[in-house]
């Protein structure tokens, strides 16, 4: 592991960032782990249940249901399943928040559309 970056393995943490501000030679006061998943399934539930914060972009209805169930926030399912491609949902055990994030023209040119779901018919 170099500079906190872990191997690119699906379902495994993408980064582990320790707090180096602890006392000299002593344990760090906190650390954080970032895990990135390409899609959420029932198999993701245990991983999600252990998270303090889950961020999602335009989840499918099944993914929204999985997040809501894993974090014991049933009221999160409906707003998450209705997110537009440029909206982000943040879910914790304390609540649900959504916001819009529009890419710049340069970002659109470089990476294309931000929608991860197939076009709606």
| C-alpha to C-alpha distance for 75 and 63, rounded to whole angstroms | 14
pLDDT at 104: 86
> Is 95 in a helix, a strand, or coil?
strand
pTM: 0.67
CA angle, residues 59, 74, 80, in degrees to nearest 5: 25
Mean pLDDT, to the nearest integer, of 6-19?
A: 52
Return the bridge partners of 99, or none. Answer: 88
Q: Check pLDDT > 90 for residue 15.
A: no
With residue 106 as reference, give the H or E element that holds it. Answer: helix 105-111
Model confidence over 26-77: pLDDT tens digits? 566 777 888 888 889 989 999 999 999 999 988 999 999 999 999 999 999 9
Delimit the domains of the chain by residue range: 39-121
Q: 21 versus 78: which is more confidently predicted?
A: 78
């Amino acid at each position: 592991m170099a500079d906190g970056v872990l191997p690119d393995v699906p379902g495994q943490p993408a980064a582990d960032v320790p707090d180096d501000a602890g006392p000299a030679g002593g344990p760090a006061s906190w650390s954080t782990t970032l895990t990135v998943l390409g899609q959420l399934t029932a198999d993701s539930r245990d991983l999600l249940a252990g998270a303090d914060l889950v961020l999602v972009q335009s989840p499918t209805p099944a993914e929204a249901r999985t997040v809501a169930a894993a974090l014991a926030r049933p009221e999160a399912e409906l707003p998450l399943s209705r997110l537009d491609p440029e909206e982000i949902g943040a879910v914790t055990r304390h609540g649900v928040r959504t916001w819009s994030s529009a890419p710049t023209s340069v970002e659109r040119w470089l990476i294309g559309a931000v929608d991860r779901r197939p076009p709606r018919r």
